[in-house]
Structure 1
Amino acid sequence: MKRILCALMIGLLIPAALAEEKTAEQMVAAKKRADMTYRQLMEIMGTASAMIHQGIIRENKQMVVQGADMITNHPAPNHQPWIIVPEEDRASFKQTLLAFDKILDDQTARVATAAGSADWQGAARAAQELTSACIACHAQWKHKVK
């Protein structure tokens, strides 16, 4: 009975893992490629985040929306993003990319919506959550980058 249960679990887990890998590849493939590295992309994301924060401080809706758009519609680097980590960490990094891509999209939408309504306190809270997500990802991976 235990063997059957283990075989069933493995049969369910392997396709799920393969689907995640394919999904990460599809996510990257769906984005426009840019002639830049992943590091350069992260620098642009940092600039976009700063633009959001400056826009909130200045109560400049357009600045916030443009910063949010830079994050939401960012291009893909000129290589597969997961090559920046050792081979044994790539599956986990792909899962992280998938999870944080959704978080970034959700948070930037919240920031832009709040700024569009001149809800500067709401925009500030959403921007803080966005920044916290960025920091959480960096804290998790910064020491594993090759």
Structure 2
Amino acid sequence: MLKEFKDFITGGNVIEFAVAVIMAGAIGAVVKGFVSNIVMPVVGLFTGGVSLADQKHVLSEAILDAAGKVTTPENAITYGAWIDTIINLIIVGFVMFMIVKAYNKTKKKEEAAPAAPKGPSQEDLLSEIRDLLAKK
């Protein structure tokens, strides 16, 4: 059982999957940084300098005690963060599409196998069998 596990873990598919997961995490972090630090400020420029990621609809305000400490945090729908996530998804999808497209171009196209040589016809085989039976 230990040998089977070792063969499984060191097999190509598991290692390739692990590399893919690590690369996906790295690509996700890069894209999140790109969206948050480059795309969203440009979107904010078109929305009058308002940061879209900070946009929210407050359902209930935060409750403060006499000292000014928050006893109950506000309850809000943070739709700006959700829009940020949607833009993230679109960019990650596009990047993954481009990676797969580039990968598919690098794969060698399989050459068509040459046609198998045509064998004797059914009539030729039957004639050959007839001749062999006649010699017996």
TM-score where L is the length of structure 2: 0.27
TM-score where L is the length of structure 1: 0.26
| Structure with larger RCO (C-alpha < 8 A, sep 6+) | 1
